[in-house]
Structure 1
């Protein structure tokens, strides 16, 4: 930081005193977070232990929750007067801008329907298609060819790495409301360091699928149903060049998807049961965190959370208290899952492979199976013809 011209003379040792650090400094974001956090704590809010960006204040049966992302804030509550009082206090401290009812947040559109709230990213998707010049492309009914195994394709021609990384990065953010492209984007993100023409062709296939489903989004039903359900699956030796399996899981709250993930496992699994069990352990960790978060929001969790898996061997290991010699290489995951089963926090259950929703996150599916699973996932298209 330099003293402006005209305020300093040669030989002087005066310095500037910093009064506010909102923008332009390394410590600006941390200072803003500390300032906003301390102000909310002074207003009677407490910081959620499961998510430090969430603040909750309870007054009897009234509750107000504030979720912050840098300087963007969502505020919800069950008493309009208390919510307005909180807004007035924040406006006095920070001079906030009240945008009214929630319509857009970080590029995500929130639409209110008779069934509940629908979260979508239609405008964001249109911007991607416009930047790529694919507004008039031929739509596709599924994002990736079934059973397609992408490799490094060292003999194929190279493409512009910056363009490829930009497209994949934008698709990564689009996953916030589009779980149906999560698997394809996970596969494509493995080749950002050295993209080839075959990889870019698959990206364009995903964009053609998005063109066909522009208005698709997640429905958060207005029905008072707080049942938490988990699904987990694994693709054994799914990566063709590292032979690592892929973990995929999904959590539904009241039939609406609230958490999902696709990730390559850190080690090679020696059996399909081991791959499925590692996936089950990852899903159990997410369920425990979600139950903790719901508990802080006063959302009841009656009984253990059902966790559906389509692998019989993994289910037997989870429910059997006897430790088998051949499962010692997954000993930590075994003890972790069994402990949660014994404390009745989760309940592993079997499900038919054709009805396993988590298949969306471990393999590419054709149009019929994709449409079937998306219907069970709570995904709707606001702009689809009725």
Structure 2
């Protein structure tokens, strides 16, 4: 499809939505201001067997940030793939927390719902394991942000994600 045809197609789609808008209303049941969901599909790409990381954030019950990105490295374990996704999402959560702090002065942690139990137990383990050297930097980044109360991790089963 040529560029002009693509632009015309976009114009046709957007012409019908000019009077529509998004309405963000606070969810009164929401106890945590920033809630994030993070996951990865270990070796999900059938061609190059790379994993895809994804996250989704809500602020006061409204969707505000999301991403899905193929990982650059080839993870050997599903836990490693989850750590890559969690570190990517932690970076976004820190940005969101800083943005909210600038506007409101409120300093609250983002709450992550993580489906992989081994990831949660691994970042809590303070011992260094030479077999985990490849994920040690991401583990330290996540742990630092948990200890400084920028993020909190909660287990959520994959079905509930």
Name which of 83, 102, 106 aligns with 1:277: 83
Please, what TM-score do these two structures have when normalized by structure 1?
Answer: 0.36
Q: Which residue of 1 aligns with 2:24?
A: 220
1:220–1:256 Cα contact (<8 Å) kept: yes
Do residues 347 (structure 1) and 146 (structure 2) align?
no
1:229 paired to 2:42: no
Contact kept in structure 2, 1:318 and 1:348, CA below 8 Å: no
Q: How many Å apart are 1:299 and its aligned residue?
A: 4.9
Q: Which residue of 2 aligns with 1:241?
A: 47
Structure 1 pair 272–298 and aligned structure 2 pair: CA distance change class (3 A): same
Whole-angstrom CA distance in 1 between matches of 2:23 and 2:137: 37
C-alpha separation in 1, matches of 2:122 and 2:6: 43
Distance 1:346 1:317 in 2: 16
Aligned equivalents of 2:83 and 2:151: distance in 1? Answer: 14
Q: Within 1, Cα distance between the matches of 2:131 and 2:6? A: 45
Of residues 121, 129, 136 in structure 2, which corresponds to 1:331?
A: 136
CA distance in 2, matches of 1:331, 1:339: 12
Structure 1: runs of 5+ lacking an equivalent: 1-160, 175-215, 357-386
The TM-score with structure 2 as length reference comes to 0.82
Which runs of 4 or more aligned residues in structure 1 lie more than 2 Å from their structure 2 counterparts after TM superposition?
216-219, 222-226
Larger RCO (alpha carbons 8 Å, 6+ apart): 2
Q: How much has 1:220 moved relative to structure 2?
A: 1.4
Instruction: Write out per-residue CA displacement over residues 72-102 of structure 1, whole angstroms, 9 at most, x where no aligned residue.
Output: xxxxxxxxxxxxxxxxxxxxxxxxxxxxxxx
Question: Which residue of the partner structure matches residue 17 of structure 2?
Answer: none
Match of 1:190 in 2: none
| Paired residues of 1:237 and 1:244 also in contact (CA < 8 A) | yes
Question: SS of the residue aligned with 2:113?
Answer: strand
Q: Determine helix, strand or coil for the equivalent of 1:258.
A: strand
**Aligned-partner Cα distance in 1 for 2:76–2:98:** 33
Give the superposed CA RMSD: 2.6
Flag the structure with larger Rg: 1
**What is the CA deviation profile of residues 212-237 of structure 1, one whole-angstrom value per residue up to 9, with x for unaligned ones?**
xxxx9855114576711111000111
